[in-house]
Structure 1
Amino acid sequence: MPSVAIAIFPGVQALDVAGPFDVFAEANLFIDGNDRYEVTLLAADNAPLRASNGIRLVPDETFDDRHSTFDLALIAGGPALPEVAPDTRVTAWLANVASRCKRYGSICTGAFALGHAGLLDDRNVTTHWQHAQQLATQFPKARVDFDRIYLRDERLVTSAGVTAGIDLALALVTEDHGPQTALKVAKRLVVFSQRQGGQSQFSPYLTAPADETSPVAKVQTHVMANIQHNFSVKQLADVAGMSARNFARIFVQGTGVTPHEFVERARMDAARKLLESSDAALKAIAYDCGFGTADRMRIVFTRRIGATPAQYRERFRQA
């Protein structure tokens, strides 16, 4: 019987726990005898704990109770996990269990616990889009993918935010029991067995500049206010009052992206807002956001978020 451990802690995200747990439980309905999953909740002690939404969770065992090897060990995430000091009991258990598991990994911000346990170095990983940059900064040896819903790097598995734990668990069921079993589970849970596109569908591309009075911020404001126009580096440098060469260097230092990349991201965010909030034709949105044509907008959307503008509108259109 495959054994699955899910590590929990005070302030854990309840859906990070319940989502994968339900996938494995539902899978057991379609699996014979000894192949069924046995899922165990583990924590530092036996005391009941509160999830971030207030739900009371009771661990089945403590980290010290189980010394046998799990087939899969996962650490759930929690809203405060990226900011709080690491719990040494959690990180010690992760470091130990990872060396003895067939597969191990994290759901959502649980990746930070893996990082503190030294398990992300030289690995391809993902986490919630809101914390991906922080994970990359905090653990520079990790190769953080900002867009993936889940990732497998040899024995290590990681997922994006919250409900992506369901996607990860379904992928593991597919590995273990084939796509038909995973599809049956997905239908039972009324979710997609394989979600289209990445988590960039849910994340904004632009963030406010740290210094709103800087030349870089002035250029960003100019681009967003005139998003329907074409921009050359020379034109943007003139707005900043710099030479083109110096502007390009300063812009990358201040934003981490080239001027061209920023303009394309700005067009994407502007188009997404219109797709979500208006009934405007795709060709009109493409023109108003500077893509020029609907075909060009579709190419950029597909490359960046794995979905066409029409598909994006269908998923995120506001009532």
Structure 2
Amino acid sequence: MRHHPLEYPRIMPTVSLLAFPGVQSLDVSGPLDVFAEANRFLLPQQHYRLQVIGAGDGPLICSNGMQLTAHRHFTHSDEACDLLLVAGGPVLVKQAPDAALGAWLRQQAQQAKRFGSICNGAFLLARAGLLDGTRATTHWDDAAALAQQFPQIRLEPDRIWLRDGKLYTSAGVTAGIDLSLALLAEDAGPEVALNVAKRLVVFMQRSGGQSQFSPYLTPYAEEDSLVGRVQQYVLAHLGDKLTVEKLAGLVATSPRNFARVFARDARMTPAEFIELARVDAARAMLERSALPLKSIAIDCGFRDAGHMRQVFQKRLGTGAQQYRDSFSASARHPSNE
């Protein structure tokens, strides 16, 4: 596809980023740095014009204590922008709706060429009704809350970023940089975006979904419940052949009843739980040991290293070796010698 950089009515495209008290500072600075760095590679008349819009009076104190000063309050910002991004922050999940802010977001989203959210800024868009019936993503840790509060959203929680028409949403924190690089590539072409990625020392496109960054995936039931007793057995016997018949026998019930009760209480089938438990065990070993992939695969109950790689790809969006390269202790703390 041929790119036509920065085809906007305005010569200098405007990027507006909404911030508020308690905002995650990197949700603001990361995307702004992408577009600011892009100006190094663009003609002066193509430069992005960047502005922070505040949803609070006076200086904004970020979640890490840093102080930001917005260019203007949203009530004094009626001008349409080319790109509107809403930052996230820990306070948003339980924050009460703000009718005035919601109305402003709806107006700005309608006027903007593109709009979207970073991290759990999706909650502000959702409260404004801007995510109804759309495909969207958010920080993995807030995905369940977003889905519960706004079931009309077609949530895709493993995506780093996602586009639905002119709506763009991203996963948590640094994923805002990924999204901004993608938006920049749409505007100015992949070469400019790649140069900016190099300047910021980040990947142009990282591999895998955000599940690989989340805590372990396996949900657990109460230990003394039927499901909990079976789960504890599975965790202690991951290398064994685990069938529904065998697990049902442990709790003296029929395979059919066991499968029904397990799916009801664990919200997944026994086979899904076993697979996730094996992935979790393998993740821990990949992070903390230097054992060969084949040994880890067998110890965790996979048929072989190839089978483990396939399951990792399905569950985490990345292979076992790639996971080790990204998250093992030796990878995080390379020798300086």
Give the TM-score category using the shorter length. Answer: over 0.9
Aligned twin of 2:220: 208
2:142 is the alignment partner of 1:131: yes
CA distance in 2, matches of 1:34, 1:239: 72
Kindly tell me the number of residue pairs found equivalent between the two proteins: 318
71-80 or 213-222, which deviates more: 213-222
302-311 or 47-56, which deviates more: 302-311
Residue type of the alignment partner of 1:38: R
CA distance in 1, matches of 2:31, 2:114: 15
TM-superposition CA deviations, 1:126-147 (whole Å, max 9, x none): 1111111121111101011121
- The Cα of 1:87 is off from its aligned counterpart by 3.2
User: Among residues 313, 324, 328, which one is paired with 1:302 in the alignment?
Assistant: 313
User: Among residues 85, 88, 110, which one is paired with 1:99 in the alignment?
Assistant: 110
Aligned twin of 2:248: 237
SS in 2 for 1:80: helix
Aligned twin of 2:167: 156
Seen in structure 2, the aligned counterparts of structure 1 residues 278 and 247 have a Cα distance that, compared at 3 Å, is same
TM-score w.r.t. length of structure 2: 0.91
Q: Which runs of 5+ in 2 are unaligned?
A: 1-11, 331-337
Runs of 4 or more, structure 1, over 4 Å off, are none
CA RMSD across the alignment = 1.3
Whether the 8 Å CA contact 1:302–1:308 is kept in 2: the answer is: yes
SS in 2 for 1:109: helix
- The Cα of 1:110 is off from its aligned counterpart by 0.5
CA distance in 2, matches of 1:94, 1:230: 54
- The Cα of 1:90 is off from its aligned counterpart by 2.9
Alignment of 1:13-162 (within 5 A): 13-162=24-173
Whether the 8 Å CA contact 2:223–2:232 is kept in 1: the answer is: no
2:199 is the alignment partner of 1:188: yes
Q: Which runs of 5+ in 1 are unaligned?
A: none
126-135 or 277-286, which deviates more: 126-135
Aligned twin of 2:274: 263
Whether the 8 Å CA contact 1:7–1:75 is kept in 2: the answer is: yes
Seen in structure 2, the aligned counterparts of structure 1 residues 90 and 242 have a Cα distance that, compared at 3 Å, is farther
CA distance in 2, matches of 1:9, 1:50: 8
TM-score w.r.t. length of structure 1: 0.96
Residue type of the alignment partner of 1:10: P
Aligned twin of 1:218: 229
CA distance in 2, matches of 1:290, 1:70: 54
Whether the 8 Å CA contact 2:17–2:84 is kept in 1: the answer is: yes
Whether the 8 Å CA contact 1:46–1:61 is kept in 2: the answer is: no
Residue type of the alignment partner of 1:125: A
- The Cα of 1:252 is off from its aligned counterpart by 1.9
Residue type of the alignment partner of 2:217: Y
